[in-house]
Chains A and B, each alone.
Chain A
Amino acid sequence: MVTPDLVSDEDIAKLIIPDDLPDEQPTFKAYIEAKVYDKEGHLIQYHRQPMRSLTQYFLALMSIPIIGTYQGASVNQAPGILTNVLGLPSSISARYSADISWDWAIQLGSGTQAFSPTLTSLAAPISNGTGAGQLSYGSLSVSYAGSTIYVSIHVTNTTSNTISVTEIGLTGTIYIQYSNGSVSEYSFLLSYDTFSTAVSVPALGMTIFQITLSFTG
């Protein structure tokens, strides 16, 4: 028998997301940093701010190590979060076997927009290149220390004008690798933040952007 004092979904929802538990340490902290160098390699600006805006796709991605890729021991289908949120196939053809992996990237932009956990892109992404308004994206770097993951990228402004970066996103791509060698890709915006003050990358200068994701462990 279930007691009538706690039966509805609404009751449960109130319980599972408390208003706050102020005396407890947070589970997670995240920061965005930018180090701006001029054309001579001198550090001219250092910016650091809390990251505030993870999307539902981050939640869905982090669910994979927790809930796996199958619904159960004998249920040969992917969990609903993977199919409903990430758009992954429920299962693939019997002709192939497959496995799953993912990668991240940092995307910069010059626009702003209101945050929503369902955002799929930056407002005005800055493309990779050497043309006007473009930045040359270097290689991504990922490291970890304990329960903290660091993701950074350096970008170079090869144009003759300053480029202002006003928004930043952590993006993710899930790869389903098939036994025949083909790969399906699914890309997502994992976080979205606007800078409290724009980061200006000077002409011929360089900037390192770093995102720090720290689980308290």
Chain B
Amino acid sequence: MMVGKEIEDIDITMPKDAYDTGKDTPTFRAYLTVVVRDSEGKLVKVHRQRSHSPTANFIGLMLPLTYFNVTGSSYTIKTTGGSTYNYEPAINPTAQCISYPNTADNYPSYIIMIQVGSGQQSNPYAAYSLAAPIANGSGTGQLVYGNPSVSSNITVSGSSAYFTISQTFNNNSGGTVTITEVGIITYLQFSQSYNNNPLNFGQVLVWYDVLNSSISVANGGSVTIYYTFTVNP
């Protein structure tokens, strides 16, 4: 059988439903919800927007083994500090893949935080760090970072399903702090299972969003950020 003579062979027209009409039902969406409270805990603002932007790091980590096996290529993952690693997982005890917990050793790959910042950058896909991260602390311009919370299960409702990641930040800085960008930072260790020898790779930005409008957190107030990942909403 010969393959290769394609479109010119017959009169091919694109089905109407194949065009992006904006009416397709997306199979996946991500949302950002930002809940701001004042110093008395009173709700002062709720901001909602779609989250758009997995980073290049996420795409590389999501790729299946076939990509690496067939192409023989690696994928460059970059830390928030700019260090790079040529990620090339394989089913092989000598391959360096994301570590998995065992009861003796602790080489964690885990979500560190939702990080907030006061800058912005125009190409979220290429971002490997926030433009201007807001530091964890009580100094001027800083916020006290709580711990991230991840759903322990996926909630299924009809044909849709979702899980959330949330984190609360308190403003003890003495002044208003303004948030314009948000990202998810994951810590990665790549281990070779055969010798129990992990590579402490570091912090990796996997998701990044610029807020549609800035969020101001008054002194004494707090802000909770929810990332929601959902299918068939």
Answer yes or no: do A and B interact: yes
A residues within 8 Å of B by Cβ? 1-3, 5-6, 12, 15-18, 21, 24-31, 35, 37, 39-44, 46-56, 58-81, 84-85, 90-104, 115-118, 139-144, 146-147, 149, 151, 156, 172, 175-181, 183, 191, 196, 204-206, 215-217
Query: Nearest CB to that of B22 among chain A residues?
Result: A26
- By the criterion CB–CB under 8 Å, are B156 and A56 in contact? yes
Chain A contact surface mostly = mixed
- Give the top 5 A-B pairs by smallest Cβ distance, nearest first: A80-B152, A94-B104, A41-B2, A65-B61, A99-B97
- By the criterion CB–CB under 8 Å, are B100 and A78 in contact? yes
- By the criterion CB–CB under 8 Å, are B110 and A70 in contact? yes
- By the criterion CB–CB under 8 Å, are A216 and B52 in contact? yes
Q: How far is the CA of A61 from the CA of B48 in the complex (A)?
A: 25
Query: Nearest CB to that of B153 among chain A residues?
Result: A84
For chain B, residues 16 to 50, give those with C-beta under 8 angstroms from any C-beta of chain A: 17-18, 20, 24-31, 33, 35, 37, 40-43, 46, 48-50
Query: Nearest CB to that of A215 among chain B residues?
Result: B54
- By the criterion CB–CB under 8 Å, are A183 and B91 in contact? yes
Residues of A near B6 (CB, < 8 A) are 35, 43
- By the criterion CB–CB under 8 Å, are A78 and B193 in contact? no
Q: How far is the CA of A27 from the CA of B99 in the complex (A)?
A: 29
The minimal Cβ–Cβ distance linking A43 to chain B, given in whole angstroms, is 5
- B14's partner among A41, A44, A48, A79 (CB-CB below 8 A) is A48
Query: Nearest CB to that of A208 among chain B residues?
Result: B3
The minimal Cβ–Cβ distance linking A84 to chain B, given in whole angstroms, is 5
Q: How far is the CA of A49 from the CA of B29 in the complex (A)?
A: 19
- A97's partner among B30, B165, B191 (CB-CB below 8 A) is B191
20 other A-B residue contacts (CB within 8 Å) besides A49-B18, A76-B108: A3-B40, A6-B46, A15-B226, A21-B49, A24-B49, A29-B26, A41-B3, A52-B25, A59-B154, A66-B229, A78-B100, A81-B152, A91-B103, A94-B105, A99-B190, A142-B70, A149-B63, A178-B193, A181-B93, A215-B53
Q: How far is the CA of A26 from the CA of B40 in the complex (A)?
A: 36
- By the criterion CB–CB under 8 Å, are B101 and A31 in contact? no
State which of B138-146, B169-177, B181-189 sits at the interface with chain A.
B181-189
